[in-house]
Amino acid sequence: MKSKRIAIALAMIVALTMGAFAAPLRIAVIMPSATTDMAFSQSMWSALVTIQKEMGGESALQLKYTDNMWNVPDAAAAIRDYASQGFDIVIAHGSQYGSSVQDIAPDFPKTTFAWGTDVNTFGLPNVYAYTAAAEQGGFVNGVLAARLTKSKKIGVTGPIEVGDAKTYIDGFVQGVQSVNKAIAVSKTWTGSFSDVALMTAAAKTHIANGADILTGSSQSVVGSIGAAKDKGGVLWFGTQADQASLASALVVASQVYDWTGMLREIVAQHKAGVLGGKTYVLTLANGGLKMAFNPAYKLAPAAKKAADDAIAGISKGSIAVQP
């Protein structure tokens, strides 16, 4: 009937206008390093910016950030402050923020807290925890590296043997060994996440020792890529972010942390009234971890197939990678 149609039309108009005037969703993120680090913090920040664009910009999603929060009490103050300002979702992007989230979340039952990289939600209904199974991409990189190395020597330049730097590298070594146990993988740790000069020297040392493939983790790894570029002919495998822009012909593949899927789900859940209580693990299977193959590097089809098989195997569960 006409009146029914008018009623529906009116309802739709009301719904649309309400939608248009709906207050933007507000997300705050606290990070331990700079958003430009081409590693951990940058991966989350760029994911948030992507989500913001998807949702329609500032009017739909308001983003605020606090970076370089390596001091835990300062981060706790920031988390509490953003929560008390009424932010809908507060992301504490750093493993050191766990106790702070545990303390603060109960005081703000209407706020969603997400923190990582860890798997503990403390049993709180408004806390999400997230982590990345970095060892998976490490395994895939390792498989490729084992197939591409001619000198049968691979170098790993790491910062400190903790966190996802450790799990990535452990996965990498497993990947190499699954192809050829005779390949020598040697590891160096510089004891710092930021010392680029020492990381460069470490990379050069591996190269001088005969390594023709390098990998590693942390923001200082840009130095290793530089060393590979300097020498020429040394290939690089990256993690946490797509590092192809730094040495286009030499970067074979990077494991990219793609937080967007998780973020979309958290946002949708929040709008539906679910504030937490779940742990997210970025894996190859759920698309949180993506292997970015550098188009500028001509990867032999056989090698590509091996990598794809590894991805499939890990996703299916037929290949088990130990963190």
Partner 1 sequence: MKGMLSLNVLTGILNSMIALATPFLYAAIGETFAQSAGVVNLGVDGIMLLAGFAAFFVALTTGNLWLGLLAAIGVGILMGLVMSLVSVTLKAEQGVSGIGLYMFGLGMSSLLFKVLIGTVKTIEGFKPVSIPFLSQIPYLGPILFHNSVLVYGAFLLVPLSWVILEKTSLGLKIKAVGQNPAAADSLGISVVGIRYFAVCLGSALAGVAGASLSISLLNLFQDNLTSGQGFIAVALVYFGGWSPLGVLAGSLLFSAVNSIQLWMQVLGVNLPASVAVMLPYILTILALMLSSNRARQPAALNKPFDRSEN
Partner 2 sequence: MPASGSDLVKGDKPASTFDWAKVLLNGALPLAGVVIALAIAGIFLALLKTDPMTAYAAMVNGALGSTFGLTMTLVKATPLLLVGLGICIAFRANVINIGAEGQIIMGALAGAVVPISMPNAPGWFLITAACVAGFASGALWGFIPGILKAKMRVNEILSTIMMNAIALQFMNFLLQGPLMDPENIKRGTFLAQSARIPQQAWLPRLVPQTLLHAGLILAILLAIVVYIFLWRTTIGYEIRAVGLSPDASRYSGISVPFNVALSLTLAGGFAGLAGVVEVIGVQHRLMDGLTSGYGFTGIVAALLGGLHPLGLIPASIFFGGLLVGADKMQRAVQIPSALVTAILGMIVLLVSGAGIWARRWSAKRLAGGRRTAGGGRSAGSGRSAGSGPTAGGERATEAH
| By CB under 8 A, residue 292 contacts partner 1 | no
What is the Cα–Cα distance from 159 to 203, expressed in whole angstroms? 12
Mask for 2-41, x = binds partner 1 (CB under 8 A)? -------------------------------xxxxxx---
To the nearest 10 degrees (0 to 180), the angle between helices 40-55 and 260-271 is 50
Q: Please state the closest distance from residue 87 (CB atom) to partner 1, in A.
A: 23
Mask for 258-287, x = binds partner 2 (CB under 8 A)? ------------------------------
What is the Cα–Cα distance from 103 to 156, expressed in whole angstroms? 38
Burial 199-215 (b: 16+ CB within 10 A, else e): bbbbbbebbeeebbbbb
What is the Cα–Cα distance from 308 to 237, expressed in whole angstroms? 16
Partner residues linked to 91 by β-bridges = 29, 114
Evaluate whether 235 touches 148 at the Cβ level (below 8 Å).
Answer: yes
Tell me the two tokens of residue 129.
Answer: 């925890």
State which residue, 17 or 194, has the beta carbon closest to partner 1: 194
Q: Work out what residue 248 binds among partner 1, partner 2, none; the CB cut-off runs from 5 to 8 Å by kind.
A: none
What is the Cα–Cα distance from 289 to 255, expressed in whole angstroms? 7
Considering only 208, 268, 300, 312, the residue that binds partner 1 (CB under 8 A) is 208
Evaluate whether 252 touches 234 at the Cβ level (below 8 Å).
Answer: no
Q: Please state the closest distance from residue 115 (CB atom) to partner 2, in A.
A: 12
Evaluate whether 253 touches 293 at the Cβ level (below 8 Å).
Answer: yes
Kindly determine how many residues on this chain lie close enough to bind partner 2 according to the rule CB under 8 A.
38
Mask for 226-265, x = binds partner 1 (CB under 8 A)? x--x---------------xxx------------------
State which residue, 85 or 194, has the beta carbon closest to partner 1: 194
State which residue, 63 or 196, has the beta carbon closest to partner 1: 196
State which residue, 185 or 266, has the beta carbon closest to partner 1: 185
Tell me the two tokens of residue 103.
Answer: 């303390």
Binding residues (CB under 8 A) for partner 1: these are 33-38, 42, 68, 155, 161, 186-192, 194-198, 200-202, 204-206, 208-209, 219-220, 222-223, 225-226, 229, 245-247
